[in-house]
């Protein structure tokens, strides 16, 4: 469902900007389809997943520029393909992370368990590619590709004829209103930033920061040079929270994986002796991810405390557009 972003009026200047933004983001998504189908370069899938997120974040920023029924169809299509891409991308990232641990191992006792984990992740990724291809088929046959390009071109023509003045100041005013709201959504998590045990809230805080960052990227052409510094700070925060979330996923999932492998071993061999070789490596990873999480959370805590001092988030927001005429 498209979130409510307020009741900002669809001025012609804003809708003209919307047509440019959404066309660019839609084609950033669609242009990656051949590379994702081929599945030789994982960066194609990564770029397409990010493009899906950016499109879904941008679409509800411009209520009234398109009929809501059309916008909902486009959003649904982008979300559906984004879900399939996300699962596959997560598997790619997990495999790279585990391969990094394996490459740096000195204790041979840990290798069998980690190698088994890499094998299972590879098998999982192969199955997920089937779902990715199905999602791409639906996308190419669906309304996002068949309807949106023509709709944004038509909107662009109509709004160019309707815009009597320079669009920049009006778009910038709308941008600052939206960014003020997005920043308030992020700062609402201030009370949990010092609590490492609040796993779900920290993940939600990461999402709030991502929404703020993506919104800032949409309007960056109308916000001057200070937008780059603001984006840099948001990316730093997002990276820290992302690494914390990744560790939380591993910490929760590795015991489940260990139990599944134990059951598989007993079913296949009728005893658990072979499983004993796998256990040390998985336990090693569990402790390694716990230690990494503690390290990253302390880095995030220090970052957040520093972000509350001058100029702070409010100062960064207030500086947007100051260098523009």
- Residues 300-323 have a mean pLDDT of 90
For the segment 170-199, what is each residue's pLDDT rounded down to a tens digit? 899 999 999 999 999 999 999 999 999 999
Mean pLDDT (whole number) for 232-256: 96
Report the 10 Å Cβ neighbour count for 223.
Answer: 26
Residue (of 105, 81, 71, 67) closest to 29 by Cα position: 81
Q: What is the pLDDT confidence band of residue 164, given thresholds at 50, 70 and 90?
A: low
173's CB contacts (< 8 A; 6+ apart) are: none
Examine the pLDDT at 16 and tell me if it is beyond 70: yes
Alpha helices, DSSP H only, in the chain? 12-30, 33-38, 42-58, 68-103, 111-141, 143-146, 148-162, 168-187, 199-219, 226-269, 275-307, 312-318
CA atoms of 90 and 87, how far apart (whole Å): 5
Would the pLDDT of 305 be above 90? yes
Give the model's pLDDT for residue 272.
Answer: 67
> 116-130 pLDDT, tens per residue?
999 999 999 999 999
* pLDDT of 160 strictly over 60: yes
Residue 147, pLDDT above cutoff 60: yes
266 to each of 118, 183, 218, 269, 276, how far by Cα in Å? 20, 52, 54, 5, 11
pLDDT of residue 8: 44
What pLDDT shows up at residue 110?
95
Looking up tokens 């290798």 gives: 111
Least confident of 93-102, 270-279, 300-309: 270-279
What value does the mean pLDDT of the chain take?
91
Residues 53/214, Cβ–Cβ less than 8 Å: yes
Domains of the chain: 1-165 (1.40.20.10), 167-319 (1.40.20.10)
Contact 52, 82 (CB under 8 A): yes
Confidence band, pLDDT 50/70/90 cuts, at residue 165: low
The pLDDT of residue 274 is 75
| Residue 2 confidence (pLDDT) | 38
Query: Residue 1 pLDDT more than 50?
Result: no
pLDDT of residue 294: 98
Please tell me which residue, 281 or 7, carries the higher pLDDT value. Answer: 281
Instruction: Supply the pLDDT for residue 28.
Output: 96
- Contacts of 185 by beta carbon, 8 Å cutoff, 6+ apart: 208, 211, 212
Q: Is the pLDDT of residue 4 over 80?
A: no
Q: How far apart are CA 110 and CA 96, in angstroms?
A: 17
Q: Percent of the chain, pLDDT > 90?
A: 81
Tell whether the model's pLDDT for residue 268 goes beyond 90.
no
Q: Between 18 and 265, name the one with better pLDDT.
A: 18
Question: Of the candidates 210, 226, 232, 221, which has an alpha carbon nearest to the alpha carbon of residue 172?
Answer: 221
218 contacts: CB under 8 Å, gap ≥ 6: 21, 54, 57, 58, 61, 175
Are the C-beta atoms of 186 and 313 separated by less than 8 Å? Answer: yes
């Amino acid at each position: 469902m498209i979130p409510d972003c307020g009741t900002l009026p669809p001025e012609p200047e804003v809708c003209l900007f919307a047509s440019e933004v959404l066309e660019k983001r839609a084609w950033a998504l669609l242009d990656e389809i051949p590379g994702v189908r081929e599945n030789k370069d994982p960066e194609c899938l990564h770029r397409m997943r990010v493009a899906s997120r950016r499109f879904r974040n941008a679409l509800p920023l411009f209520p009234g520029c398109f009929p809501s029924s059309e916008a909902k169809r486009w959003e649904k299509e982008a979300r559906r393909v984004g879900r399939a891409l996300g699962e596959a991308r997560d598997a790619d990232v997990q495999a790279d992370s585990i391969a990094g641990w394996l490459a740096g191992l000195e204790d041979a006792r840990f290798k069998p368990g980690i190698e088994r984990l890499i094998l299972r992740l590879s098998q999982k990724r192969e199955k997920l590619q089937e779902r990715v291809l199905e999602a791409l088929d639906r996308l190419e046959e669906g309304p996002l590709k068949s309807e949106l390009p023509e709709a944004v071109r038509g909107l662009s023509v109509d709004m160019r004829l309707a815009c009597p003045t320079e669009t920049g100041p009006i778009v910038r005013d709308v941008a600052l209103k939206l960014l003020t709201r997005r920043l308030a959504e992020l700062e609402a998590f201030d009370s949990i930033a010092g609590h490492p045990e609040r796993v779900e809230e920290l993940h939600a805080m990461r999402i709030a920061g991502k929404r703020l960052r993506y919104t800032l990227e949409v309007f960056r052409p109308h916000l001057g040079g200070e937008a780059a510094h603001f984006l840099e700070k948001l990316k730093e925060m997002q990276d820290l929270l992302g690494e914390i979330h990744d560790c939380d996923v591993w910490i929760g999932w590795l015991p489940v994986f260990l139990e599944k492998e134990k059951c598989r071993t007993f079913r296949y061999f009728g005893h658990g002796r072979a499983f004993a070789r796998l256990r040390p490596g998985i336990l090693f990873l569990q402790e390694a991810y716990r230690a990494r999480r503690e390290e990253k959370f302390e880095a995030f805590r220090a970052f957040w405390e520093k972000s509350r001092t001058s100029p702070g988030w409010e100062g960064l927001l207030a500086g947007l557009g100051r260098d523009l005429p």
